[in-house]
């Protein structure tokens, strides 16, 4: 017999703010500030790790040796790993342990948290009106500084082009993603004074040099688990706009723990229920309960079983 359990606003919801603290890269001792944006924890500074074949603009090397970070070709950035459009990307690349190179989908999640309309997420080209929220409050030419209300602090470090020149210092900030249409043409994000307030999503040659912002990885048993099972724990619809349904089957009566984690691995929901054997159905109104758009992981744990599945809230 199918059991229906509906959780709306009557259950106690625990939303835990992620600790997104200052981070020290153990490889070189570089210290980075970080920022929580939506469900993601981003470095609030450009990566400065001196990976082989990375570059620093000689015009600023002696004046700002660490402020603007280093430029990386996509090949250098990925450090031998395969292209990934997943969220999370699963690509550490040259990021420190516990961090990873963000995918195009993770960049889109960041932008949606800053106001990018869902209808624009598939667009290649200029999108949204959120550039000012991401730009630093100093350093941009022609007085085109941003408000940096997001804390992302995008600096106009320019980029390294296919003619082996550093260009657009003071007017452009460019960032690689881990994905794209092909290995030769990965996706990037560009903030440029002439395009304010839009952010450009496009493709670029993998040999050009752009900045990297690493994203904190999920540091829990989730990413080590081999229990992801879309048949044992079914989620529908997925992606979801508000109400989501979890379907699962119990071999015998059991106390069941239902837990939801955000993309950084922090538990944001926990509910314990006593369920009978057979088909079970749990309905949860995510928007009414205070969840924000993003990627989550659902864990279902009974006395004898444990399953994970991924949930996307639009």
The pair of three-digit structure tokens given for residue 303, joined into one six-digit string: 């006395």
pTM: 0.68
Residue for token pair 């009566």: 253
Residues 172 and 224 in one domain: no
Residues 46 and 190 in one domain: yes
Residues 144 and 65 in one domain: yes
Residues 168 and 200 in one domain: yes
Domain end, chosen from 194, 216, 238, is at: 216
State the pLDDT at residue 23: 92
Task: Please report whether residue 94 resides in a domain.
Answer: yes
Averaged pLDDT score across all residues of the chain: 86
Task: Please report whether residue 21 resides in a domain.
Answer: no
State the pLDDT at residue 5: 44
Residues 257 and 178 in one domain: no
Domain end, chosen from 199, 216, 233, is at: 216
Domain end, chosen from 200, 216, 232, is at: 216
- SS3 sequence, the chain? CCEEEEECCCCCCCCCCCCCCCEECCCCCCEECEEEECCEEEECCCCCCCCCCCECCHHHHCCCCCCCCCEECHHHHHCCCCCCCCCCCCCCCCCCCCEECCCHHHHHHHHHHCCCCHHHCCCCEEECCCHHHHECCCCCHHHCCCCCCCCCCECCCEEECCCCCEECCCCEEEEEEEEECCCCCEEEEEEEHHHCCCEEEEECCCCCEEECCCEECCCCHHHHCCCECCCCEEEECCCECCEEEEEEEECCCEEEEEEEEECCCCEEEEEEEEECCEEEEEEEECCCCCCCCEEEEEEEECCCCEEEEEEEEC
* C-alpha–C-alpha distance, residues 264 and 188, integer Å: 23
The pair of three-digit structure tokens given for residue 161, joined into one six-digit string: 């082009």
* C-alpha–C-alpha distance, residues 199 and 313, integer Å: 23
Task: Please report whether residue 228 resides in a domain.
Answer: yes
State the pLDDT at residue 3: 44
Residues 9 and 105 in one domain: no
Task: Please report whether residue 23 resides in a domain.
Answer: no
Residues 163 and 44 in one domain: yes
Residues 84 and 226 in one domain: no
Number of domains in the chain: 2
Task: Please report whether residue 26 resides in a domain.
Answer: no
Residues 147 and 226 in one domain: no
State the pLDDT at residue 258: 86
Summarize pLDDT for 18-43 with one digit per residue, the tens. Answer: 468 899 999 999 999 999 998 899 99
Task: Please report whether residue 8 resides in a domain.
Answer: yes
Side-chain half-sphere exposure of 175, counting CA atoms within 13 A: 33
Task: Please report whether residue 83 resides in a domain.
Answer: yes
Question: Where residue 225 sits, what CATH number does that domain have?
Answer: 2.60.40.1930
Low-confidence spans in the chain with pLDDT less than 50: 1-18, 220-221, 224, 226
Q: Print the domain residue range for 195.
A: 33-216
Residues 48 and 160 in one domain: yes
State the pLDDT at residue 16: 34
State the pLDDT at residue 145: 97
State the pLDDT at residue 67: 84
Residues 228 and 129 in one domain: no
Residues 184 and 83 in one domain: yes
State the pLDDT at residue 102: 97
């Amino acid at each position: 017999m199918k059991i229906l359990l509906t959780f709306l606003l009557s259950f106690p919801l625990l939303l835990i703010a992620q600790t997104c603290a200052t981070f020290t890269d153990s490889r070189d001792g570089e210290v980075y500030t970080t920022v929580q944006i939506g469900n993601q924890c981003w470095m609030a500074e450009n990566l400065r790790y001196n990976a082989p074949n990375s570059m620093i603009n000689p015009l600023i090397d002696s004046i700002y040796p660490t402020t603007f970070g280093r430029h990386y070709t996509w090949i250098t950035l990925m450090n031998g790993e395969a292209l990934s459009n997943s969220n999370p990307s699963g690509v550490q690349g040259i990021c420190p342990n516990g961090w990873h190179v963000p995918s195009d989908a993770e960049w889109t999640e960041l932008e949606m948290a800053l106001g990018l309309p869902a209808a624009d997420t598939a667009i290649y080209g200029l999108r949204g009106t959120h550039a000012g929220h991401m730009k630093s409050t100093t350093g941009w030419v022609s007085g085109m500084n941003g408000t940096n209300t997001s804390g992302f602090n995008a600096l106009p470090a320019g980029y390294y082009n296919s003619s082996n020149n550093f260009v657009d210092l003071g007017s452009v900030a460019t960032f690689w993603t881990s994905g794209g249409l092909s290995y030769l043409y990965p996706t990037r994000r560009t903030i440029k004074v002439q395009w304010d307030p839009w952010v450009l999503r496009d493709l670029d040659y993998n040999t050009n040099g752009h900045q990297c912002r690493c994203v904190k990885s999920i540091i829990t048993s989730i990413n080590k688990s081999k229990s992801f099972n879309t048949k044992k724990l079914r989620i529908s619809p997925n992606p979801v706009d508000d109400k989501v349904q979890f379907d699962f089957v119990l071999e015998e009566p059991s106390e069941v723990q239902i837990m939801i984690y955000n993309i950084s691995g922090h538990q944001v929901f926990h509910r314990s229920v006593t369920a009978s054997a057979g088909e079970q159905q749990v309905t949860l109104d995510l928007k009414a309960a205070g969840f924000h758009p993003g990627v989550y992981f659902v864990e279902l744990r009974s006395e004898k079983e444990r399953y994970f599945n991924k949930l996307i809230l639009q």
